[in-house]
Amino acid sequence: MTTTLVRAACPHDCPDTCAIVVTVEGGKAIKVHGDPRHPPTHGSLCTKVSRYTERTYHEGRVLHPMRRVGPKGSGRFERVGWDEALADIAARLARIAGPDGANAEAIVPYSYAGTMGMLQGESIAARFFHQLGASLLDRTICSSAGGEALAATYGAKIGMHVEHYAESHLIVIWGSNSITSNLHFWTHAQQAKRAGAKLICIDPRRTETAEKCHEHIALLPGTDGALALGVMHELIAHDWLDHDYIARHTEGWPALRERALAWPPERVAAVCGIAADAVRSLARDYGTTQPAAIRLNYGMQRARGGGNAVRLVAILPCLIGAWRHRAGGLLLSASGWFRHARNDAALQRRDLLGKRRPRTINMSTIGDDLLRETGEALPDGARFGPKIEALVVYNSNPVAVAPQSVRVAQGFAREDLFTVVLEHFMTDTADLADYVLPATTQLEHLDLHTAYGHTYAMLNEPAIAPLGEALPNTEIFRRLAARMGFDDPCFADSDEALARIAFRAPAEGGVDFTALREHGWVKLDIAEAPFAEGGFATPNGKCRIDAPGYGVPDYLPNYESATSTPELARRFPLAMISPPERNFLNSSFVNVTSLRGIDGEPVLEIDAGDAAKRGIETGQRVRIWNDRGAIECKAVVGTRARPGVVNGLGVWWKKLAKDGHNANELTHQHLTDIGRGPSFYDCLVEVEPASATRPPSR
Ligand SMILES: Nc1nc2c(c(=O)[nH]1)N[C@H]1C(S)=C(S)[C@@H](COP(=O)(O)OP(=O)(O)OC[C@H]3O[C@@H](n4cnc5c(=O)[nH]c(N)nc54)[C@H](O)[C@@H]3O)O[C@H]1N2
Ligand SMILES: Nc1nc2c(c(=O)[nH]1)N[C@H]1C(S)=C(S)[C@@H](COP(=O)(O)OP(=O)(O)OC[C@H]3O[C@@H](n4cnc5c(=O)[nH]c(N)nc54)[C@H](O)[C@@H]3O)O[C@H]1N2
Ligand SMILES: [Mo]
């Protein structure tokens, strides 16, 4: 039997985007391992992706087109041929779109980052929906608050090289559980720690990462903006400022300086629920250590004021001149470094819209939007447009991941909604589809990747033939386009042809495809300390402390908190956050038995004092509820949760949880201050021992 090694890239929504080598024997992928030559990920894979063959050959893979036979949600499907499925889907979409596509906005694509691939993400799919004139989708569910906030401040989502954290003398890990969600960064941080650097973690939860740092500041969720203002207060009071850097490379500091002076440590401490000395000590470390680096991540931006909080934290490196060093500054996302390299216009062909300007649906309010009628008045006074009649879902599992999922599931359950889901598995979303179409996994298709935690463009070669009748997303939309009679030649582009146009040419700041094919990855050409002399991506190169359209950032209290909604807080006194679970990737991998087995069932972490007050002990089943829903979990009492905050880990498949529910039944659809994102971690609940007689109904 011949053994071949195939070069691949991890497709998942994670900053690390690892280089993978797949071992193939007799046409079967038998093993995946990290590629040790890839500098940012150096040959190690996480627990999840090292099980990728188990996921690909999983007995639950959808391998044939399936059509619903029972009532919506009954889970009864029959196998149909591709031709029959595509003919019927095309006919139904054409009927909904109406003559001349006048009602095409009633059709909505729903996709996110199940794969982050440039081809299997938004290439032929985007062309298809543009040609159709379907509603556009605002892809806000993960990072839009922080992303837009960073771009408002620095002009783009750009920051430090992840490798340089190894040389930092102080690392502040702010709103991130690196060991869980950014493992390869953690390797660099550990290197720095061994060389004597101090590590500080700012996170309401005592995470695996927090317990390995020298200090942990367990603030209340959504209060990071106040903490950043408090740090500024101390930097000013002790004159730990780099006046020269501020004068030359920022604009708007005087107004923020004024604002920060109103935030002495005692006020910050009261808002954040921490000791005033913790604020002083953080500011002293930050103001007196160089090079100082912040690893900011998306945890803090999932609350009402998340965008402003990101802006406040992002400004700190300018105040102390941290950017002068290559091991100083900040990294939230590196994806903006690829903005000139990617040729999304060529891949996605927005020009196919012509003069049409379809409405935009925000994916974070899909629950409400699926339940709206034609022309309904919206909270901002605008009108909704046509009722949503069809959804085409790919690379996403909205029934599990979108906020306030009681409403989402209600929407998906509409008998008059036509839903097509392209998937690997029968997820909670696929269960509510009219058609489920089998998609290939990363081992079975060609793709290209950029990254948001490092600066290497990557290639993924197919390692094995598609299983069963599975097809790449690109091919499914190609065939559907043909059925719809879309005759623009762009719908005939093969994956190979798409790969060759996905990046601009090297002379235009792009990536050489031949080099990519030869080496598997290409590093972008970026200066070692890119902002040592300012030169941010803003029009005048300065950090915009006062940014047009955003103003000077400020602390905004949560939608739900003791100060903003005291009456609600009396009924629901605990703040719930629901951060990622180490052994899953959002809702992906929940169905991989060996990974689910590690935890067995969803848990709720609760502080010992809060538990004692409610008569709750570890291992006991508890009911967690608010006005939006109720779920049941196993309680874990202990030090991971701080007083007043409970942690419900992971986005479980509802149907694989004992009670058939997940944490998103408690979250709401209010959007963040910046970027129109969800505020998953801005959520009040109450907890009690689950009674044997009362089911978790609402
Ligand atoms: N294993 C694993 N890895 C993942 C994922 C996964 O599900 N599992 N998800 C991937 C995805 S989609 C993303 S976007 C990234 C996310 O990457 P990160 O943003 O780094 O991910 P998290 O681990 O969610 O870190 C968020 C941390 O913020 C904390 N937090 C919650 N609220 C607040 C707050 O108000 N302030 C502060 N300071 N901290 C807060 C949480 O307790 C959590 O520890 O991770 C990716 N990597
Ligand atoms: N309560 C709470 N909710 C959250 C979060 C949280 O922290 N707390 N995190 C949020 C965040 S950060 C994010 S990014 C979202 C993530 O939400 P999603 O992007 O929906 O992520 P997943 O849950 O991983 O679902 C991705 C689906 O895509 C499928 N898929 C993968 N590759 C392919 C492919 O090539 N083709 C097709 N057709 N399908 C494919 C997978 O099988 C999987 O079912 O969830 C958000 N929801
Ligand atoms: Mo995400």
**CA distances for 400 relative to 429, 434, 529, 575, 604, angstroms:** 7, 18, 41, 21, 17
Q: Contact, 293 vs 314, CB < 8 A?
A: no
Q: From the CB of 682, is ligand 1 less than 6 Å away?
A: no
Give strand ranges (E) for 588-691. 603-606, 621-626, 629-637, 645-648, 684-689
Ligand nearest to C-alpha 425: 2
| Strands, sheet with 107-111, edge to edge from the N-terminal-most edge strand | 77-79, 66-68, 435-438, 418-423, 390-394, 107-111
pLDDT at residue 77, rounded to an integer:
97
Cβ count within 10 A of residue 172: 25
**In degrees rounded to 5, what are phi and psi of residue 673?**
-55, -35
Q: By CB neighbour count within 10 A (0-12 exposed, 13-18 middle, 19+ buried), where does 339 fall?
A: middle
Q: Contact, 366 vs 110, CB < 8 A?
A: yes
Residue 187 in 3-state DSSP?
helix
Q: From the CB of 218, is ligand 1 less than 6 Å away?
A: no
DSSP state of 228: H
Residues paired with 459 in a beta bridge = 448
Evaluated on CA atoms 90, 364, 659, 62, the torsion sign reads: positive
DSSP string across 75-86: --EEE--HHHHH
- Distance, in Å, from the CA atom of 387 to the CA atom of 416, rounded to the nearest integer, reads 11
- Distance, in Å, from the CA atom of 172 to the CA atom of 322, rounded to the nearest integer, reads 12
Q: How many CA atoms lie within 13 A of 224 on its CB side?
A: 34
pLDDT at residue 693, rounded to an integer:
52
Q: Long-range contacts of range 257-264, CB-CB < 8 Å, 24 or more positions apart?
A: 257/232, 259/229, 259/552, 259/554, 260/229, 260/232, 260/233, 260/236, 261/233, 261/236, 262/229, 263/226, 263/229, 263/230, 263/232, 263/233, 263/555, 264/230, 264/233
Taking the CA of residue 115 as reference, the ligand 2 atom at the shortest distance is 32
Q: From the CB of 366, is ligand 2 less than 6 Å away?
A: no
Q: From the CB of 141, is ligand 2 less than 6 Å away?
A: yes
- Distance, in Å, from the CA atom of 323 to the CA atom of 443, rounded to the nearest integer, reads 40
Q: Contact, 575 vs 646, CB < 8 A?
A: yes
Q: Which residue has the tokens 């559907």?
A: 480
- Where b means 16+ CB within 10 Å and e means fewer, 468-483 reads eebbbbbbbbbbbbeb
Q: Contact, 123 vs 348, CB < 8 A?
A: yes
Distance from the CA of 15 to the center of ligand 2, in angstroms? 14
Q: From the CB of 579, is ligand 1 less than 6 Å away?
A: yes
Taking the CA of residue 221 as reference, the ligand 1 atom at the shortest distance is 35
- Where b means 16+ CB within 10 Å and e means fewer, 280-297 reads bbbbebbbebbbbbbbbb
pLDDT at residue 692, rounded to an integer:
58
pLDDT at residue 698, rounded to an integer:
43
Q: Give 3-state DSSP helix, strand, coil % of the chain, rounded to 5.
A: 35, 20, 45
- Distance, in Å, from the CA atom of 150 to the CA atom of 20, rounded to the nearest integer, reads 30
Distance from the CA of 182 to the center of ligand 1, in angstroms? 9
pLDDT at residue 591, rounded to an integer:
86
Residue nearest to atom 45 of ligand 2 (CA): 401
- Distance, in Å, from the CA atom of 327 to the CA atom of 192, rounded to the nearest integer, reads 10
Q: Contact, 293 vs 185, CB < 8 A?
A: no
Q: Are strands 292-296 and 170-174 parallel, antiparallel or unpaired?
A: parallel
Distance from the CA of 373 to the center of ligand 2, in angstroms? 27
Residue 174 in 3-state DSSP?
strand
Query: Residues in the chain with pLDDT < 70?
Result: 692-698
Residue 407 in 3-state DSSP?
helix
Give strand ranges (E) for 240-389. 250-251, 292-296, 329-331, 360-362
The pTM of the full predicted model, rounded to 2 decimals, is 0.97
Cβ count within 10 A of residue 385: 18
Alpha-carbon dihedral of residues 117, 400, 625, 145, nearest 10 degrees?
Answer: 30
**SS3 sequence of 30-53:** EEEEECCCCCCCCCCCCCCHHHHH
- Distance, in Å, from the CA atom of 413 to the CA atom of 435, rounded to the nearest integer, reads 14
Residue nearest to atom 11 of ligand 2 (CA): 142
Candidate from 66, 366, 401 with most ligand 2 atoms within 8 A of CB, to mutate = 401
- Distance, in Å, from the CA atom of 237 to the CA atom of 256, rounded to the nearest integer, reads 14
**Nearest Cα to 554, choosing from 255, 158, 141?**
255
Helix (H) or strand (E) holding 389: none
Taking the CA of residue 664 as reference, the ligand 2 atom at the shortest distance is 1
Q: From the CB of 14, is ligand 1 less than 6 Å away?
A: yes
Q: Which residue has the tokens 């500024």?
A: 232
Per-residue pLDDT of 597-645, as tens digits, reads 777 789 999 999 999 999 999 999 999 999 999 999 999 999 999 999 9
Q: From the CB of 298, is ligand 1 less than 6 Å away?
A: yes
DSSP state of 342: B
Q: From the CB of 207, is ligand 1 less than 6 Å away?
A: yes
- Distance, in Å, from the CA atom of 193 to the CA atom of 24, rounded to the nearest integer, reads 39
- Distance, in Å, from the CA atom of 446 to the CA atom of 458, rounded to the nearest integer, reads 11
| Strands, sheet with 3-9, edge to edge from the N-terminal-most edge strand | 3-9, 19-25, 28-34
pLDDT at residue 380, rounded to an integer:
85
Distance from the CA of 13 to the center of ligand 3, in angstroms? 6
Cα 537 to its chain centre, rounded Å, is: 23
Alpha-carbon dihedral of residues 508, 314, 208, 37, nearest 10 degrees?
Answer: 20
Distance from the CA of 470 to the center of ligand 2, in angstroms? 19
Distance from the CA of 332 to the center of ligand 2, in angstroms? 20
DSSP state of 274: S
